[in-house]
Amino acid sequence: MKNKFFEIAFMHSLKGIPMVAPNPPVGAVLVKDGKAICASHHKAYGKAHAEVNVIQEFKKKFPGISLSDLDMYVTLEPCCTQGKTEPCTDLILNSGINNIYIAHKDANNVNSRGAKVLMQNGLNVKFLEKNTDIFKKINLSLQPFIKWHLHKLPYVTLKAGITLDGKLATADKKSKWITQEDARLNSSKIRNLHDAVLIGKTTFIEDNPSLKFKNINSQQKQIVLCDDLNFSDDLKLLKSKRLVFFVGNKASGKRVLKLSNLGHEVYVSKSELFSAEALFKALYDLKIQSIFVEGGARVHGFFYDSFLQNSLFVDRLLIYYAPFLMGNNESVSIAQGTGVSDLSTVKKLKEYTLKAFSRDFCLDGYFNLYPDK
């Protein structure tokens, strides 16, 4: 087993994000005489799995050639049940491949016997060592999928662009951009890897953002959390076909109807505002596996306070820092919630990395790290 082939399979797996959600990103490589000769990945939800695509690719490239002396490297344990597609274990067993190297177990319990099925049928199956860099990278890429199956909850990334003293905006809120373009580009690339972006009503109205996604054929949603639906119909996001409102019960029925008739999804809470529990349940039912929370301060406060009650409500923090201070008490802080008043109750990041841009820098940290089985 050579880890470099897992690196190739991993690189390919990433091309499937976010189109494959709520399926996992998976990549596969076929190796002959120590050389990777074919690589492919799972490309879209409901479509062929990585193993099917890589075998098809081989057959196209080398028609009539047997697969019997090839090794297969795959980032996720092959599935063994009929879902939207046939079990990959059947395909692998019929292909003649003898050696299969697997990086990560399948968190979806119905498929967690895939490796056993292959072994019981005489294949030589080996798993990647968990203490390797490549295992860690694959595990990180599977975090939303693992959480989804383990906890039946969407994966949450909280993102903010702030000054060194933790401010989102000046007191008059006229400060349009805190961070520079390269940092913002990085943030929109990461947004694009999520199934949904979520903002609050104040950001929706005052920033009037367009929150674009790049993969126009995918199912990504733009979510606005609001107490009511009192806003101008000229806001940019209202032109989008992906817009979803989660609104409190004081929203006027007329507005709900109008926005619904315009093609937007509107979910009305039973109470004044959506609770975190009700919101997460609704997002899960909508099959939204990962959300990118872009603020503003009250939305961050809402998520952070929910997280203090239940650690599963925020998973990742992505904070872009501009290298200066606001130094003003009236300016807007990153989170306007209850927060902690006693340091002994604070919850720390399990790990983080720092990345530098031309002027700004970013902290990418994890509160939760969901393990392999």
Candidates 17, 31, 39, 51: give the one binding ligand AOF (CB under 6 A).
51
Q: Are the C-beta atoms of residues 192 and 212 closer than 8 Å to each other?
A: no
Member of 18, 24, 144, 161 binding ligand AOF (CB under 6 A): 24
Output the smallest distance, CB 25 to ligand AOF, in A: 8
- From candidates 3, 56, 85, 208, binder to ligand AOF by CB under 6 A: 85
**Element (H or E) spanning 160, and its range?**
strand 155-162
Complex with Zn ion: residue 20 or 198, whichever CB lies closer: 20
Is 49 a binding residue for Zn ion by CB under 5 A? The answer is yes
Q: Is 78 in the site for ligand AOF (CB under 6 A)?
A: yes
Q: Which is nearer to Zn ion, 84 or 130 (CB)?
A: 84
CB of 88 to Zn ion, least distance (A): 3
CB of 139 to Zn ion, least distance (A): 19
Among 84, 116, 239, 350, binds ligand AOF (CB under 6 A): 84
Q: Which CB sits closer to Zn ion, 81 or 188?
A: 81
Nearest residue (CB) to ligand AOF, 29 versus 198 = 29
- Binds 196, which of Zn ion, ligand AOF, none (CB < 5 to 8 A, cut-off by type)? none
Q: Choosing from 7, 51, 77, 294, which is the catalytic residue?
A: 51
Q: How far is the CB of 215 from ligand AOF (least distance, A)?
A: 17
> Active-site residue 265, yes or no?
no
3-state secondary structure the chain: CCHHHHHHHHHHHHCCCCCCCCCCCCEEEEEECCEEEEEEECCCCCCCCHHHHHHHHHHHHCCCCCCCCCEEEEEECCCCCCCCCCCHHHHHHHHCCCEEEEEECCCCHHHCCHHHHHHHCCCEEEECCCCCHHHHHHHHHCHHHHHHHHHCCCEEEEEEEECCCCEEECCCCCCCCCCCHHHHHHHHHHHCCCCEEEEEHHHHHHCCCCCCCCCCCCCCEEEEEECCCCCCCCCHHHHCCCEEEEECCCCCHHHHHHHHHCCCEEEECCCCCCCHHHHHHHHHHCCCCEEEECCCHHHHHHHHHHHHHCHHHCCEEEEEECCCCCCCCCCEECCCCCCCCCHHHCCCCCEEEEEECCCCEEEEEECCCCCCC
CB closer to ligand AOF out of 19 and 293: 19
Q: Does 108 bind ligand AOF (CB under 6 A)?
A: yes
Under rule CB under 6 A, residue 116 binds ligand AOF = no
Q: Report the C-alpha gap between 19 and 34 in whole angstroms.
A: 31
* Tokens of residue 289, six digits: 């596996």
Q: Point out which span in 79-87, 134-142, 190-198, 204-212 binds ligand AOF (CB under 6 A).
A: 79-87
Q: How far is the CB of 108 from Zn ion (least distance, A)?
A: 10
Residue 193 touching ligand AOF (CB under 6 A): no
Please state the φ and ψ torsions of residue 76, each to the nearest 5 degrees.
-130, 145
Of 106, 154, 133, give the one whose Cα is nearest residue 292.
154
Which positions from 54 through 113 interact with Zn ion, judged by CB under 5 A? 79, 88
The partner in contact with residue 84, picked from Zn ion, ligand AOF, none with C-beta cut-offs of 5 to 8 angstroms by kind, is ligand AOF
Stretch that binds ligand AOF, among 19-27, 159-167, 343-351, 354-362 (CB under 6 A): 19-27
Number of chain positions touching ligand AOF (CB under 6 A):
17
Q: Any contact of residue 264 with Zn ion (CB under 5 A)? A: no
Given the rule CB under 6 A, which residues bind ligand AOF?
23-24, 26, 42, 49-51, 76, 78-79, 83-85, 88, 106, 108, 111
Active site residues: 51
